[in-house]
């Protein structure tokens, strides 16, 4: 039996709040480092960058996609980026994050989460 692992990750207030209120159920990241290692039943403690408040979630599943567009389309815009108005807007948001445009070639991981 594998033991679950606890990870910690900082988030901007907008995304932290969407996770804390249950509207954001998929966290999308470049498939590298700790995000590539996450697995079902692991715990992520998301820390609000502004307030330092924490919210704990359980990883329900992880799926690797070739790019952010495929992830957003497959997982659903409302689950990944509930405040964005279109898939194009969501892709632009992700690719606007420092280095994400260059690192997208590593693949992206959809981390399906639920409040703990």
Q: Where are the domains of the chain?
A: 6-115
User: For position 77, what pLDDT does the model report?
Assistant: 98
Residue keyed to tokens 């898939």: 87
**CATH architecture of residue range(s) 6-115:** Roll (2.30)
User: For position 3, what pLDDT does the model report?
Assistant: 85
Q: How far apart are the first and last CA of the chain?
A: 20
Residue 78 and residue 41 in contact, taking contact as beta carbons nearer than 8 Å? no
User: For position 1, what pLDDT does the model report?
Assistant: 63
Reported residue count of the chain is: 116
User: For position 114, what pLDDT does the model report?
Assistant: 98
Rounded to an integer, what distance in angstroms lies between the CA atom of residue 73 and that of residue 97? 19
pLDDT block averages, 10 residues each, the chain of length 116: 89 97 98 97 98 98 98 98 97 95 97 97
User: For position 71, what pLDDT does the model report?
Assistant: 98
Q: Record the pTM.
A: 0.95
CA distances from 23 to 66, 77, 94, 112, 114 (A): 24, 11, 18, 12, 10
């Amino acid at each position: 039996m594998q033991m679950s692992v606890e990870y910690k990750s900082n988030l901007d207030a907008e995304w932290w709040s969407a996770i804390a209120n249950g509207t954001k159920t998929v966290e999308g990241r470049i498939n590298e480092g700790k995000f590539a290692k996450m697995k079902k039943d692991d715990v992520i403690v998301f820390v609000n960058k502004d307030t330092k408040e924490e919210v704990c979630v359980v990883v329900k599943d992880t799926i690797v996609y070739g790019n952010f567009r495929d992830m957003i389309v497959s997982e659903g815009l409302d689950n990944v980026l509930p405040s964005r108005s279109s898939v194009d807007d969501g892709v632009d948001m992700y690719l606007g994050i420092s280095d994400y445009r260059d690192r997208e070639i590593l693949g992206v991981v959809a981390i399906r989460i639920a409040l703990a």
